[in-house]
Amino acid sequence: MINQLFPNVKWDKMWDATYETIYMTGISTIATFVLGLAIGILLFLTSPHQLWANKLSNFIIGAFVNVFRSIPFIILIILLIPFTKFLLGTIRGTNAALPALIIGAAPFYARMVLIALREIDKGVIEAAKSMGAKTSTIIWKVLIPESMPALLSGITVTAVALVGYTAMAGTIGAGGLGNLAFIDGFQRSRDDVTLMATIIILVIVFIIQFIGDFITSKIDKR
């Protein structure tokens, strides 16, 4: 039945591509979470009236974030080709997509981190200061735990965006479902391959969203 509906789909190829998409999304989501969190926290701490309030640093970090957030992803991949080649020695394959995915998503996520941190009650930070907490303690024990639900729903949105980015990265040779849909599906006019790849991408997105929502609601004790 399924083979009749999708006559041209080669399932082993489809599963390989699915694995590649999950691999790229997974690794880049984790790296984006760490990098975006770090940039977001820096952006927050250097903003006015905060612990490391500093106009210049804040401006530089903010400008960096805005520049990388504004470059369309497909162009960013091309711009980063020399960097990727230098880093990994190749521009093909799933790993070669990772630098562009992370650099494209981290600034986007950093903005979400900033918004999440701004939502924290100022009084709570003041209370921690009044107890004699160091800045590192405030970061690890106040800022991150107190904004965790927003940080998680932000990373969920970012992961979904990253699934889309991997598909774009696929068109220039990174592999994955995007690559399969473009090369095997579009260029050879096999619509059923494109459709199947799309369906699997949708399923991946739904699963990410479901897991994200589930964990967020579990840890939110407000």
Partner 1 sequence: MIELQNISKLYNTKNGEITAVNDVSLTIHQGEIFGIIGYSGAGKSTMIRLLNGLEKPSSGKVLVNGQEISSISGGKLRAARRKISMIFQHFNLLWSRTVEENIAFPLEIAGVKKEERAKKVKELIDLVGLTGREKSYPSQLSGGQKQRVGIARALANNPEVLLCDEATSALDPETTDQILDLLLDINKRLGLTIVLITHEMHVIRKICHRVAVMEAGSVVEQGEVLRVFQNPQAPITKKFVMQVSGSKESKDSIEQILKAYPTGTIVKLSFVGNKSEQPIIAQLIKEFNVDVNIVHGNISQTANGPYGTLIVQIDGDKQNIENALRHLDSLEIQAEVIELD
Residue 194 beta carbon to partner 1: minimum distance, rounded to whole angstroms: 45
Count other C-beta atoms under 10 Å from residue 64's C-beta.
14
Torsion, Cα of 121, 125, 127, 133 (10° steps): 160
Least distance (Å) between residue 117 CB and partner 1: 14
Query: Helical H runs in 89-130?
Result: 94-118, 122-130
Nearer to partner 1, 2 or 221 (CB): 221
Point out which residues bind partner 1 (CB under 8 A): 121, 123-124, 126-134, 137, 141-142, 145-146, 148, 219, 221-222
The DSSP code sequence of 190-209 is -HHHHHHHHHHHHHHHHHHH
CA distance 41 to 116: 10
Closest CA to 165 of 79, 76, 92: 76
Q: How far is the CB of 143 from partner 1 (least distance, A)?
A: 11
Residue with Cβ nearer partner 1 (127 or 202): 127
- The nearer residue to partner 1, 79 or 124, going by C-beta atoms, is 124
Please, which residue, 89 or 123, has the CB nearer to partner 1?
123
Least Å distance, CB 44 to partner 1, is: 17
